[in-house]
């Protein structure tokens, strides 16, 4: 038995340390350690609840909008506010844009080089690459000169010595199985994705003012009532078309081809329990009209989707650097107590959330399988078509491969419906005169919960306020669910459990471990300050 420590895990947002034990060429145990303190909750104390969304967006530089809108929803829940139709549609469009952008970036910029050997692409035959390109998508028209240019760009980059995200890669690793020509085609698509994701992120600027940290949210609705024009919606629609074309021409066929080549991962990184809070309400009856439905699947029982009751959520701090006990987030505490890294004791700044005492994987796989299990026809059709193309059964979805497939499938689904949603804003000549915000009177005391599906999974914000000021604020983010440590019963978190059984060909280059980690798209960065155990205080860090 030997131990492998990856610290830090790169190509993710934030700070993650992963320790694994290897026995007989496979992972036999794992410990997920979040090395960054999340401190937004105590920062929010004594602030106006209506201002919380501005701060919560700063949890991260990726999922900015999702934290803002979830915070707003928690206040609306506390005040029993129902938002107008225009606000609902605009929020769905902003969220859909976030999903498409995040998933494209995850597949191409964060995951792809786990499967594609960049150095191998330098020896590819551009003419032979054309044949591979047509196999991936027969509609493509790129020729040998195109791939020769891409190859030269990669060569120039390699010779520069400034390799950036490609530095210290495990190039030449035996787990890379693609040919040089396949690698060249995928690197060409990697570069194309860089261009497209820049355009897709503009969708947030059109309806949100900017990205990151859109500015058009407000408790009760949105603030676009004087700025929304047909020309702005038309511009947004142009970006939808660009995103949809990229998903159809590149993202979807690339995923199908890649997963066909790595079919063995359909039995690696398997999971058991899935949970989705649901997202994209289609009417004012929010929960019953969700496009991605709310539900829980235990033990891969796809046809038995159960209801979610957030009263059943607890967070354990037995193996986390916090004081306190196992509490529901509505009564939760964020009291840092760093005691040193000991895998047998406390080893993470991430808490261990549980539902009815059980671990839950959240994210694209949970959303897609909950929808599939409830008979949502667009999801059933998309999943069945994808699996038929790859040549795998439904059971393969509960794996590393399935997790990657689900992310692509839901991106395709969202790209296909966004145009219809945007048409709701121009379907009536009166739409721009309809309200964008519900007026309300701020209560002195209250409590509420905002639920949401971030691209990475189920997200919840809980707040209480007294005297018009926040008395307690708690967040349980997707990566907390997926990358949390062991709980009071010493049960591993979802990623810790999924890592067991992953093959490791070369212990000094644990590429397969990174493939599993990146399939969850972890986002650890949830803090804007650091904690000093010596000074027993929190302090701000600025870069002047």
Angle at 10 between CA 6 and CA 15, to 5 degrees: 80
Pair of tokens at residue 543: 């870069």
Can you tell me the distance from the alpha carbon of 92 to that of 261, in angstroms, rounded to the nearest whole number?
35
SS3 content of the chain, % helix, strand, coil (to 5): 45, 15, 40
pLDDT at 535 over 80: no
Q: What is the 3-state secondary structure (H, E, C) of 470-533?
A: EEEEEEECHHHHHHCCCCCCCCCCHHHHHHCCCECCCCCCCHHHHHHHHHCCCECCCCCEEEEC
In sequence order, what are the beta bridge partners of 532? 537
Task: Return d(Cα 292, Cα 477) in angstroms, integer.
Answer: 18
Percent of the chain with pLDDT over 70: 95
Task: Provide mean pLDDT across the span 92-112.
Answer: 96
Mean pLDDT of 323-332: 93
| Alpha-carbon span 426 to 236, nearest angstrom | 12
Q: What pLDDT sits at residue 221?
A: 96
Task: Judge contact between 397 and 327, C-beta under 8 A.
Answer: no
- Mean pLDDT for the chain overall: 92
How far is 347 from 354, CA to CA, in rounded Å? Answer: 18
Mean per-residue pLDDT for 385-413? Answer: 97
pLDDT tens readout for residues 356-373:
999 999 999 999 999 999
On the question of pLDDT at 541 being above 80, the answer is: no
C-alpha dist (Å) from residue 150 to 26, 125, 138, 255: 37, 11, 20, 20
The DSSP bridge partners found for residue 20 are 4, 30
SS (H, E, C) 330-396: HHCCCCECCCCCCCCCCCECCCEEEECCECCECCHHHHHHHHHHCCCHHHHHHHHHHHHHHCCCHHH
Stated pTM of the model: 0.94
Instruction: From 322, 324, 336, select the one nearest 533 (Cα to Cα).
Output: 336
CB 40 within 8 A of CB 526: yes
What's the start-to-end Cα distance of the chain, in Å?
Answer: 47
**Inter-residue contact 66 to 217 (CB < 8 Å):** no
Q: pLDDT tens digits for 250-286?
A: 999 999 999 999 999 999 999 889 999 999 999 988 8
Q: What is the mean pLDDT of residues 479-503?
A: 97
Output the six-digit token pair for 307.
């209801």
Token digits for 151? 């190859």
Kindly report which listed range (75-89, 145-159, 413-427, 529-543) carries the lowest average pLDDT score: 529-543
Mean pLDDT of 324-335: 92
Is 109's pLDDT higher than 90? yes
Is CATH 3.40.50.620 what the domain over 2-163+174-540 is classified as, yes or no? Answer: no
Share of the chain above pLDDT 90, in %: 82
pLDDT at residue 430, rounded to an integer: 61
Task: Give the range among 29-38, 90-99, 255-264, 448-457 with minimum mean pLDDT.
Answer: 29-38
Q: Classify residue 419 as left (phi > 0), alpha (psi -120 to 50) or beta.
A: alpha
Closest Cα to residue 440, out of 88, 91, 69, 82?
Answer: 82
- Give CA–CA dist 317/39, Å, rounded: 15
392, 383 in Cβ contact below 8 A? no
**What angle do the packed helices 126-136 and 180-200 form, to 10 degrees?**
60
Helices assigned H by DSSP within 83-229: 85-105, 118-121, 126-136, 144-160, 180-200, 202-208
Residue 429 pLDDT > 70: no
The pLDDT, as a whole number, for residue 60 is 77
pLDDT at 336 over 70: yes
Out of 67-81, 162-176, 230-244, 262-276, least confident range: 162-176
- CB of 484 within 8 A of CB of 348? yes
Over residues 143-198, the pLDDT tens digits come to 999 999 999 999 999 888 888 888 888 999 999 999 999 999 999 999 999 999 99
**100 Cβ contact partners less than 8 Å away, ≥ 6 residues apart:** 200, 243, 247, 411, 414, 415, 418
CA angle 291, 271, 113 (to 5 degrees): 85
* CA neighbor of 75 nearest in space, from 480, 470, 478: 470
356, 350 Cβ separation under 8 angstroms: no
Going by pLDDT thresholds of 50, 70 and 90, the confidence category of residue 539 is very low
Looking at residue 542, what is its pLDDT?
31
**Mean pLDDT, residues 277-304:** 95
In sequence order, what are the beta bridge partners of 29?
21
Q: How confident is the model at residue 529 (pLDDT cuts 50, 70, 90)?
A: very low
Give the CA-trace dihedral at 265, 266, 272, 276, to 10 degrees: 100
And the tokens for 139? 């509609």
Average pLDDT of span 470-485: 96
Domain ranges, ordered by start, for the chain: 2-163+174-540
């Amino acid at each position: 038995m030997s131990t492998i420590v990856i610290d830090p895990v790169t190509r993710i947002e934030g700070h993650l340390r992963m320790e694994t034990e290897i026995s007989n060429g496979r992972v036999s145990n794992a410990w997920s350690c979040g090395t960054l303190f999340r401190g937004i909750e105590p920062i929010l104390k004594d602030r106006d609840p209506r201002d919380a969304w501005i701060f919560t967006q700063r949890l991260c530089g990726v999922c900015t909008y999702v934290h803002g809108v979830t915070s707003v929803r928690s206040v609306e829940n506390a005040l029993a506010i129902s938002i107008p139709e225009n606000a609902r549609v605009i929020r769905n469009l902003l969220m859909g844009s976030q999903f498409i952008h995040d998933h494209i970036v995850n597949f191409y910029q964060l995951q792809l080089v786990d499967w594609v050997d960049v150095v191998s692409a330098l020896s590819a035959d551009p003419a032979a690459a054309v044949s591979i390109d047509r196999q991936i998508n027969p509609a493509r028209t790129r020729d040998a000169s195109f791939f020769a240019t891409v190859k030269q760009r990669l060569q120039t980059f390699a010779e520069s010595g400034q390799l950036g995200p490609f530095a210290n890669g495990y190039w030449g690793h035996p787990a890379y199985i693609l040919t040089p020509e396949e690698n060249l085609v995928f690197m060409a698509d990697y570069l194309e994705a860089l261009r497209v994701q820049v355009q897709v992120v503009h969708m947030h600027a059109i309806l949100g003012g900017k990205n990151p940290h859109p500015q058009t949210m407000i408790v009760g609705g949105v603030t676009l009532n004087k700025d929304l024009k047909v020309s702005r919606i038309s511009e947004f629609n142009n970006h939808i078309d660009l995103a949809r074309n990229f998903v159809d021409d590149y993202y979807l066929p690339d995923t199908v081809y890649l997963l066909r080549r790595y079919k063995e991962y359909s039995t690696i990184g398997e999971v058991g329990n899935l949970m989705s809070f649901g997202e994209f309400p289609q009417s004012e009856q929010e929960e019953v009209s969700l496009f991605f439905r709310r539900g829980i699947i235990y033990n891969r029982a796809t046809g038995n989707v159960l209801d979610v009751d957030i009263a059943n959520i607890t967070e354990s701090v037995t193996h986390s650097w916090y004081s306190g006990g196992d509490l529901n987030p509505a009564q939760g505490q964020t009291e840092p107590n760093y005691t040193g890294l000991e895998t047998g004791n406390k080893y993470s700044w991430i808490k261990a959330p549980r539902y009815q005492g059980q671990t839950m994987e959240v994210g694209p796989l949970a959303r897609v399988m909950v929808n599939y299990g409830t008979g949502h026809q667009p999801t059933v059709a998309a999943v069945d078509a994808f699996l038929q193309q790859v040549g795998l059964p439904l059971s393969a979805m509960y794996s590393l491969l399935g997790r990657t497939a689900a992310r692509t499938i839901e991106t395709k689904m969202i790209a296909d419906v966004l145009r219809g949603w945007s048409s709701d804003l121009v379907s009536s000549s009166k739409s721009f005169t309809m309200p964008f915000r519900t007026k309300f009177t701020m209560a002195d005391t209250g409590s509420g919960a905002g639920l949401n599906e971030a691209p990475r999974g189920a997200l919840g914000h809980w707040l209480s306020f007294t005297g018009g000021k926040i008395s307690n604020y708690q967040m349980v983010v997707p990566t907390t669910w997926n990358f949390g440590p062991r709980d009071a019963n010493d049960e591993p978190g979802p990623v810790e459990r999924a890592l067991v059984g992953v093959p490791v060909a070369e212990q000094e280059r644990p590429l397969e471990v990174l493939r599993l980690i990146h399939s969850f798209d972890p986002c650890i960065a949830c803090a804007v300050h650091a904690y000093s155990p010596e000074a027993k205080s929190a302090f701000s860090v600025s870069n002047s």
